[in-house]
Amino acid sequence: MRLQSTRQKILDAWESKNVALEVFESALAKSAARLKLDTSTSNQENDGGFLTQAE
CA distance 45 to 47: 6
Q: What range defines the domain where residue 15 resides?
A: 1-55
What total of structural domains would you count in the chain? 1
pLDDT value of position 39: 82
Q: How far is Cα 39 from Cα 27, in angstroms, rounded to an integer?
A: 18
Provide Rg for the chain, Cα atoms. 24
pLDDT digits over 1-55, tens only?
799 999 999 999 999 999 999 999 999 999 999 999 888 877 655 555 555 444 4
